[in-house]
Amino acid sequence: MEVPINQHRMLLLPEGAIYWINTQTLLIADAHLGKVTHFRKNGFAVPPQIQFSFYKKMDSLLATHSIHRIFFLGDLFHSARNAEWDRFVKWNQQCSIPAYLVKGNHDILSQDLLAESGLEVVDEWREEGLLLSHHPKEQTGFFNLCGHLHPGVRMQGKGRQRLKIPCFFHRPKQMILPAFGDFTGLFILQPKANDQVYALGEKSVLPISLRKK
C-alpha cells in the first residue's frame, strides 16, 4: 500500500518494512537479531527456525524492489554478541548495499564490531523533511519515521474472537513501523481521531478504522 508523506512516496510492505520510492531506500525497525539464540542459550524452548526469518524476508525484498540503501531504525541486534551477529555480518557484506544503523536502546555492541560489519552508525538521520530515529520524536518541520514501540492493534470478530496484529501506526507527523523481527511481541496502541492504522496481512497491508474520538 502506497502512502504519501509530504512529497514522498512510501510503500508499506506486508513484511513490516517501508520502501521509500523516491530514494529507493528500505526502512526497517526492530529486527532484534540474536534474541532467539539468546533465549535458547538460557534454556527457553524457542523454535530455532525463527532466527532465519529475517534473511528470508530481506532476500525477498531485495529481489522484489530496486534498493540502493537500507536504514535499520534501531534495535537491529537484541543484546550481547552471539553467533547470530556473525551470520548477519556475513550476510551484510555479501549484500553490498549501503546500510545504516540508527542506534536504538538494544544496540549495545561495541563501535568496533559495528564498524567491522560494514554498517554506518548514526544517532538519527534527517533528509528532505524526514527525521529517521529509533524512539518516536517530535521536531518542528520534520515528519518522523521510527520504531521502538512494536505497534499492534487488537481486532475483535464474531463470538468475541480477538486477534493481535502488528501494524504501521500513522500519526499526523509520525509513522511508527512494526517490528521486523518475528520474536518481539506487540504493544497495543489506541488510535486517536487523526491517526491511521495499517495492519499487516499475509500478502498485503490493510487500512483499518479503529479510531476513538
> pLDDT tens digits for 39-88?
445 454 455 555 678 999 999 999 999 999 999 999 998 666 677 888 89
Q: Which residue has the higher pLDDT, 212 or 61?
A: 61
Bridge partners, 151 (sequence order): 187
CA end-to-end span of the chain, whole Å?
25
* 111 lies in some domain: yes
Average pLDDT of the chain? 88
* 213 lies in some domain: no
- In this prediction, residue 39 carries a pLDDT of 46
Share of the chain above pLDDT 90, in %: 63
Residue 153 one-letter amino acid = V
Q: Which helix (H) or strand (E) holds 109?
A: none
Q: How confident is the model at residue 35 (pLDDT cuts 50, 70, 90)?
A: low
Alpha-carbon gap, residue 75 to 22, rounded angstroms: 25
- Contacts for 1 with CB less than 8 Å, ≥ 6 apart: 11, 12, 198, 204, 205, 206, 207
> Which CATH number belongs to the domain containing residue 11 in this structure?
3.60.21
For residues 180-187, give the mean pLDDT. Answer: 81
The model's pLDDT over 119-157, given as tens digits with 9 standing for 90+, comes to: 999 999 999 999 999 999 999 999 999 999 999 988 776
Bridge partners, 146 (sequence order): 176
For residue 122, give the DSSP letter: E
The grid coordinates of residue 204 equal 498485503
Give the closest residue to 136 by CA, choosing from 151, 146, 125, 127: 146
* 190 lies in some domain: yes
Total count of domains within the chain: 1
* 14 lies in some domain: yes
* 66 lies in some domain: yes
- In this prediction, residue 157 carries a pLDDT of 65
Q: Where are the beta strands (DSSP E) in the chain?
A: 2-5, 8-12, 18-20, 25-28, 69-72, 99-102, 120-122, 125-127, 130-132, 143-146, 151-156, 162-171, 174-176, 187-188, 196-200, 205-208
- In this prediction, residue 77 carries a pLDDT of 85
* 107 lies in some domain: yes
Domain that includes residue 195, residue range: 2-208
Q: How confident is the model at residue 23 (pLDDT cuts 50, 70, 90)?
A: very high
User: Is residue 120 within 8 Å of 100, Cβ to Cβ?
Assistant: yes
* 34 lies in some domain: yes
- In this prediction, residue 124 carries a pLDDT of 98
Give the closest residue to 194 by CA, choosing from 212, 176, 167: 212
* 42 lies in some domain: yes
C-alpha distances (whole Å) from 158 to each of 19, 161, 209 are 35, 6, 17
- In this prediction, residue 40 carries a pLDDT of 46
- In this prediction, residue 51 carries a pLDDT of 61
